[in-house]
Structure 1
């Protein structure tokens, strides 16, 4: 059965066309395993039956008379979606190679790469899909079915929450365009439109312990650590006398707007964005965290999801195209962030995954995307940067140093007032 493309699907294809290579609008994850890689046939034997339980994966892109749609591929074969790479000496080399891999348009827009070597005696599997074909939540749910425990339930609803009536008076200010950014050094160099990844890893126990001392959630902490890392990356830019004059950076955070009754929960892009101001210019870590706590307030994000769901339901494609230019303009929103969670433990043939790293999309002109993904008891952070961005390889170290500084500050009681405020909100 054919499924019409949603407006976000079509806009994602438009964004992809702005890139030098279509692969910049692919998303997914690299999953690493210890030991020797299996033969291709063994991977196919594992994936084939599971792919058969996910009918959305058999849909390809079609367009007749200007009516784009997803339609079942009559020649669909999982074997056509399994690719191989020799790999490299480390995960960063592997990620750089994966980011360049195409997804042929004559078949459903997803693929799995068997990576023979990923450094340190490891091999990998990488799932990637076009952002028009799937959003991040759908890609995560697909991974859980393909590499999670056998018999895991099929996802029925990937919505942020069931829709509720929109309180427009509270939401309309959120739709105002952000102010222009002119002070971030990362925007000074024309983008190369080729990308490199850097990774950071942390035990989630550290974040939970820090959350108890600060009253913050893990996503709030991750945003605060990202703001701190960006501040440390360009330390001369954020003071009152610097080019930023104490201001911050606007980031786009994805929020799900999929209808809970969607009969194809793994097909199409159903993610809008919430603007988040990263307070890089605030020198006080406690105040940075407090501001981000408000930005990631559940009520605020839920209202935004409801509003975007209503707007997108009736948004004409031509109006969406007009709004697209500002929404992806790096001069107003220079980076993206994503919070992803894998709730089913991933593995292959009895071997548990040793690491799972997000490979997010890159918006044209935006120099940086930061995505964190939790799996089992680890949080894996991906910094995906345009290659023209000088010094981006230092971001993982800056992120980890910021985490250590927050832990020291929490031990010294610097966040006590925040923790009390958070406890009071939770009790009310």
Structure 2
């Protein structure tokens, strides 16, 4: 068990307070604090270990992810800084939820009403299950980590330690390049037209949160990729376009040419890390890329080709450097105004995120069977989805502010759309 006397005091240069950190902390004033927590559920088979064993496993690695032992504190001038929690107690962060099923839940189902900032901004729970299955839930405030650093933390705790720590401590090598922010002008111009509402979602999202996940073989997306030259991410976005078309037919099933060309602007977060920085940095190294999904297109193959154009490799690569400069290298007021516009519900209808492939994980000697994302929900947004890829599985998590049937319907339609797209690629490959 770690105590204040045993928490490593070694300084870590990967802790960063950036403009996204400040933005996420500001959001606590306009939405429920628990909406800003996201994470993952690890599903395992067999009997669960004790919560004391889980705490012991985590305590062995507290020297690696600094987010575990550091909190965000306010400075005298009202800014934020990371500081080591002098009263850190692992028992306050790793607990047990004996009465809950082993399934993904919105973060507020696991968290207390307001975790506060007096302690590090993460929590972990053992879900003992029924003897056949058990789980481990981890959530973190978005001010502290983005998806890449959250996944890397899980790999540092429960994966191959040599791989997980290979790139640590390199985040101070990046040079400021403010001129690259000029390349973000076309990205910002893409938000000049307001995003239409989706009939399936409530106009004014309420307090209810519902989370549904569905899993398909990862080989399905790889088959689509091999047949079309698309990336797995592009194949997923094409399937999501078809799913949204089914999910909200009043919006996308018109028969005119104008209806067929209708697109839905969504926010696609991209990792803006540079090679020298590694991927263990605490904080948020992401950019918000608007992408128009061709939901009006009835043909799955043509939807895929349009996604490959709208979310091309070149556009994503160029966008990453531009969005990083926009976040870090331009004056504060300009940066905050641009970030607010790129993530505004009035300019994007929903968020379509994805985590990078996750390395194999093992908890207390038991291999992790699947990893399912726990999305968060930005203020005034009604839907946030995250794709995870673990071993041979691809899992989509859908969090909505609508009723429980709303998230389940979109997730089910995504499964159907993946199958439909795989079949379309087979027909094209066969020339039929």
Q: Distance in 1 between matches of 2:399 and 2:305?
A: 26
Q: Corresponding residue for 2:312?
A: 297
Q: Distance in 1 between matches of 2:220 and 2:279?
A: 37
1:199 aligns with 2:210: no
1:8 aligns with 2:20: yes
Q: Measured at CA, do residues 76 and 178 of structure 1 come closer, stay the same or move farther in structure 2, by a change above 3 Å?
A: same
Q: Distance in 2 between matches of 1:233 and 1:254?
A: 22
Q: Distance in 1 between matches of 2:71 and 2:106?
A: 27
Q: 1:400 aligns with which of 415, 424, 430?
A: 415
CA contact (8 A) 1:11 1:320 kept: no
Q: Measured at CA, do residues 339 and 13 of structure 1 come closer, stay the same or move farther in structure 2, by a change above 3 Å?
A: same
Q: SS at 1:36's partner residue?
A: coil
Measured after TM superposition, the shift of residue 262 of structure 1 is 5.1
Q: SS at 1:406's partner residue?
A: helix
1:41 aligns with 2:45: no
Q: Measured at CA, do residues 35 and 182 of structure 1 come closer, stay the same or move farther in structure 2, by a change above 3 Å?
A: same
Q: Corresponding residue for 1:137?
A: 148
Q: Corresponding residue for 1:63?
A: 74
Measured after TM superposition, the shift of residue 271 of structure 1 is 1.2
C-alpha RMSD of the superposition: 3.0
Q: 1:332 aligns with which of 347, 362, 366?
A: 347
Q: Corresponding residue for 2:397?
A: 382
Q: Corresponding residue for 1:72?
A: 84
Q: Corresponding residue for 2:232?
A: 218
Q: Cα deviation per residue 1:161-199 (whole Å; 9 max; x = unaligned)?
A: 988976677542112124112352135432113311111
1:121 aligns with 2:132: yes
Q: SS at 1:245's partner residue?
A: helix
Q: Distance in 2 between matches of 1:312 and 1:338?
A: 19
Measured after TM superposition, the shift of residue 416 of structure 1 is 6.3
Measured after TM superposition, the shift of residue 257 of structure 1 is 2.5
Q: Distance in 2 between matches of 1:278 and 1:264?
A: 29
Measured after TM superposition, the shift of residue 37 of structure 1 is 1.6
Q: Corresponding residue for 1:50?
A: 61
Q: SS at 1:51's partner residue?
A: coil
Q: SS at 1:277's partner residue?
A: strand
1:233 aligns with 2:247: yes
Q: Distance in 1 between matches of 2:370 and 2:355?
A: 14
Q: 1:369 aligns with which of 384, 405, 410?
A: 384
Q: Corresponding residue for 2:187?
A: 174
Q: Corresponding residue for 1:270?
A: 285
How does the TM-score come out when normalised to structure 2?
A: 0.86
CA contact (8 A) 1:24 1:361 kept: yes
Q: SS at 1:356's partner residue?
A: strand
Q: Cα deviation per residue 1:48-89 (whole Å; 9 max; x = unaligned)?
A: 111223334221111122121111112223333102212434
Q: Measured at CA, do residues 162 and 322 of structure 1 come closer, stay the same or move farther in structure 2, by a change above 3 Å?
A: closer
Q: Distance in 1 between matches of 2:232 and 2:16?
A: 37
Q: Distance in 1 between matches of 2:285 and 2:118?
A: 23
Q: 1:17 aligns with which of 29, 34, 38?
A: 29
Measured after TM superposition, the shift of residue 16 of structure 1 is 3.0
CA contact (8 A) 1:162 1:260 kept: no
Q: Corresponding residue for 1:287?
A: 302
Q: Cα deviation per residue 1:311-347 (whole Å; 9 max; x = unaligned)?
A: 2223444444444543333222121111212442011
Measured after TM superposition, the shift of residue 255 of structure 1 is 1.5
Measured after TM superposition, the shift of residue 382 of structure 1 is 0.4
Q: Cα deviation per residue 1:97-124 (whole Å; 9 max; x = unaligned)?
A: 237765341111112111122x783111
Q: Measured at CA, do residues 261 and 208 of structure 1 come closer, stay the same or move farther in structure 2, by a change above 3 Å?
A: closer
Q: Measured at CA, do residues 144 and 92 of structure 1 come closer, stay the same or move farther in structure 2, by a change above 3 Å?
A: closer
Q: Measured at CA, do residues 308 and 263 of structure 1 come closer, stay the same or move farther in structure 2, by a change above 3 Å?
A: same
CA contact (8 A) 1:7 1:316 kept: no
Q: 1:82 aligns with which of 81, 87, 94?
A: 94
Q: Measured at CA, do residues 323 and 205 of structure 1 come closer, stay the same or move farther in structure 2, by a change above 3 Å?
A: closer
